[in-house]
Chain A
């Protein structure tokens, strides 16, 4: 089986490649850090499965186009796994979504084997989040277990009144990351704004 990984994060991409190269059924793993570089690599078109982090510019278009071009499944592997992001990926042609927050070498191997065999792969936690989001009374359900440490840290500081820039400095993140995390939290809590997300989180004891 020939695989291809498209991920902008050098260390994580190399880790994925190292993990995948250990699988006995895998003969090669190509890699690229951007969507254009992936298209430049002839190995992409020979791939039996492609993993891509959909935070990359152009990644959503890439999902369908790469699936069409290779005739193979394309699976998203990302830290950004809000309901919206997962739905967008699946609607754009992804055969599955793996969340880096919970991904292990074992779940990666299982997911790759399942996806290569034509099965859709979405982890149970992501699926539960998606279904909760679709339920009419989804908002207000207890979701403490679904806020990551990073989301709790960011939301706690926002709740204390710190602006985005201060939160970024305090936690040693970029402002872009803080905004992305807040977007994920707002979506995850079914809120319409940051302030509503904070109010909900305080009320439910999430922070």
Chain B
């Protein structure tokens, strides 16, 4: 049974960003099920765990191709690419071909995205 707690997997985030992400997402009711910096291991973990949300570092050049691999491994997951300075965020919703690009109030947008991922899971 999947329950209504969104399950989040963290990818190639800087350690301090990762700690902040865990604090904020767990405060918002998420279950951060793990983090994995190695691309192949992250894809495998996504395939095995089928998370609702996967967060990657927007400024890492490898993140966009990695996001596509994660989406293949976990097609129902929302993938968020997050910039440390919170001046940009890219959201790849399940099935979407074009990312949503956001530039303001990004912490709130992240929480909204988390709730959206949870709603998608509970209505399955």
Chain B 103-118 residues near chain A, CB threshold 8 A: 103, 106-107, 110
Smallest CB gap from B27: residue in A:
A14
Does B83 contact A15, Cβ atoms closer than 8 Å? Answer: no
**A12: which of B58, B59, B84 is its contact (CB, 8 Å)?**
B84
Known: A11-B82, A14-B24. A177 touches B17 (CB 8 A): no
Evaluate contact between A15 and B61: CB separation under 8 angstroms.
Answer: no
B16 with A103: CB separation less than 8 A: yes
- State which residues 1-53 of A face B: CB under 8 Å: 8-19
Q: Could you say which residues of chain B place their CB within 8 Å of the CB of A149?
A: 59-61
Say yes or no: A174 contacts B20, CB within 8 Å. Answer: no
Q: B41 — which chain A residues lie within 8 A by C-beta? A: none
State the interface size on chain A (CB cutoff 8 A): 26
Query: Across the interface, which residues of A come within 8 angstroms of B21, CB to CB?
Result: 11, 15
User: Binary interface profile of B, 1-40, with partner A (CB < 8 Å = 1, else 0)?
Assistant: 0000000000000011111111110000000000000000
B124 at interface, CB cutoff 8 A: no
Central interface residue in A17, A19, A172, A174, by most chain B CB within 10 Å: A172
State in angstroms the CA–CA spacing of A10 and B110 once bound together: 11
CB distance A105 to B15 under 8 Å? yes
Of residues 169 through 184 on chain A, the ones whose CB sits less than 8 Å from some CB of chain B are 172-174, 176-177
Which residues of A in the span 96-132 have a Cβ within 8 Å of any Cβ on B? Answer: 100, 103-105, 108
Alpha-carbon separation in the docked complex, A17 to B24 (Å): 12
Q: Which secondary structure dominates chain A's binding surface?
A: helix
Tell me, in angstroms, the Cα distance from A133 to B113 when the chains sit together. 44
In the bound complex, residues from chain B placing their C-beta under 8 Å from that of A150 are 59
Complex Cα spacing A18 to B22, Å = 10
- B contact residues around A176 at 8 Å (CB): 87
Closest 3 pairs between A and B when the two form their complex, measured CB to CB: A15-B20, A14-B20, A10-B107
27 intermolecular pairs with C-beta atoms under 8 Å apart = A9-B84, A9-B86, A11-B20, A11-B24, A11-B82, A11-B107, A12-B16, A12-B20, A14-B19, A14-B20, A15-B15, A15-B17, A15-B20, A15-B21, A16-B20, A17-B20, A18-B20, A18-B23, A79-B84, A100-B85, A105-B15, A150-B59, A172-B81, A172-B101, A173-B88, A174-B103, A177-B85
